[in-house]
């Protein structure tokens, strides 16, 4: 394993097997991240890239990921919260940062002080930003959010077409971008996505007729980057594909590489006779003499409790089933059929070992969720190691 790429990316605990650090570690492969970014660029033919790094870069660590992507030429970063944007600024990220979740009027001064770009979705926020910008003596860029079918943030295309010229006329405000958000671009059937594009394109024509020229127009998430060229416009917003997961229902190979792996070690081995219960609720009972391994990884670390009696981890290149309920801090594995297993052995919860692999998508499928939630759910108490 290579050393962290910079001192600032060093983790608080050492990687598994080294020194006194906790052996449960999420390893982030920054070369895989760079590969996935190259896959984005290959598909968008010169458009700008806004890289989504909200929610700690989907659990990968926003600062380290943003630094690497900044070196690769990303034009802009996307966060959810003002606080996330401030964290990146304090870490030295100088690229524009778009705050995509609700910004409230009372946060206008903080937005301007940190040099962030908010998404605007109503007149009160626009006016508050205008007043704060005038007070600070700056020109404040904003992106206007248009709701074309997501039913979340944003004005209707008709209302937005009327309001954009008003916002553009406010002192201190520059309408730098307009955007919309897909509801289901990951599906094979793009009929609803096409209807959203019809509404967004109609909105774009309407503001042009009103004399408003907006340089940045964006709608494409990872799914649209991969499978819907109509939505590329002048900038794209890849998220999950940067981290190596393919969101497409079609399952078309996207040439992506997983960025995160989650590893730990066997802390304890115990031989149990047939008929012995394991873990809370006695939901697992040995049917034969069994060898049970305990690993220091539980649901407080983000290893989902829904994997109780249905998940697997990799031990010596083999799949070992989760035995009983996942605990807060520990999980038990049935390693009876793993030859040579020993205390201290490497265990992979997400990632590859020899010829086997367990992906975030596989865990999501077993627990009825999506890879986004699996990755975002890996808690902050799990150290991140950057290689």
Active site residues: 54, 280
What are the start-end ranges of the E strands in the chain? 25-28, 48-52, 76-79, 97-99, 117-120, 140-145, 173-179, 216-218, 235-236, 260-265, 268-272, 277-278, 284-285, 290-295, 312-315, 318-322, 331-334, 346-353, 356-358, 384-386
Contact 72, 51 (CB under 8 A): no
Other C-beta atoms lying within 10 Å of the C-beta of residue 358: 21
Helix axes 82-90, 62-72, angle to 10 degrees: 70
Other C-beta atoms lying within 10 Å of the C-beta of residue 365: 13
Contact 54, 100 (CB under 8 A): yes
* 255 DSSP 8-state letter: -
């Amino acid at each position: 394993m290579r050393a962290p790429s910079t001192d600032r990316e060093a983790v608080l605990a050492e990687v598994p097997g080294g020194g006194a650090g906790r052996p449960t570690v999420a390893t982030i492969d920054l070369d895989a991240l760079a590969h996935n970014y190259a896959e984005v660029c290959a598909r968008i033919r010169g458009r700008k890239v806004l890289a989504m790094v909200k929610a700690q870069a989907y659990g990968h660590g926003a600062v380290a990921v943003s630094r690497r992507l900044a070196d690769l030429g990303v034009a802009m970063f996307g966060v959810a919260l003002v606080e996330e944007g401030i964290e990146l600024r304090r870490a030295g990220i100088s690229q524009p940062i778009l705050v995509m979740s609700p910004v409230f009027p009372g946060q206008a001064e903080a937005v301007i002080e940190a040099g962030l770009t908010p998404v605007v979705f109503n007149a009160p926020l626009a006016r508050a930003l205008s007043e704060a910008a005038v007070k600070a003596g700056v020109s404040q860029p904003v992106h206007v959010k248009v709701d074309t079918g997501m039913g979340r943030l944003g004005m209707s295309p008709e209302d937005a077409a009327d309001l954009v010229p008003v916002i553009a006329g406010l002192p201190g405000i520059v309408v730098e971008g307009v955007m919309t958000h897909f509801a289901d671009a990951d599906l094979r059937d793009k009929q609803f996505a096409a209807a959203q594009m019809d509404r967004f394109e109609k909105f774009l024509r309407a503001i042009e007729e009103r004399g408003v020229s907006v340089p940045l127009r964006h709608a494409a998430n990872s799914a649209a980057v991969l499978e819907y060229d109509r939505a590329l416009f002048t900038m794209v917003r890849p998220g999950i594909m940067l981290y190596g997961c393919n969101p497409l229902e079609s399952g078309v190979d996207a040439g992506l590489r997983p960025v995160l792996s989650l590893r730990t070690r066997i802390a304890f081995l115990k031989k149990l006779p047939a008929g012995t219960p394991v873990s809370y609720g006695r939901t697992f009972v040995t049917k034969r003499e069994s060898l049970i391994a305990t690993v220091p990884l539980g649901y407080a670390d983000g290893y989902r409790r829904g994997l109780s009696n249905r998940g697997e981890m990799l031990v010596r290149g083999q799949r070992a089933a989760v035995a009983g309920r996942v605990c807060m801090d520990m999980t038990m594995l049935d390693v009876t059929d793993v030859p040579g297993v020993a205390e201290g052995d490497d265990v992979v919860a997400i990632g590859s070992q020899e010829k086997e692999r367990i992906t975030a998508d596989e865990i999501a499928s077993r627990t009825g969720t999506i890879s986004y939630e699996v990755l975002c759910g890996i808690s902050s108490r799990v150290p991140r190691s950057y290689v």
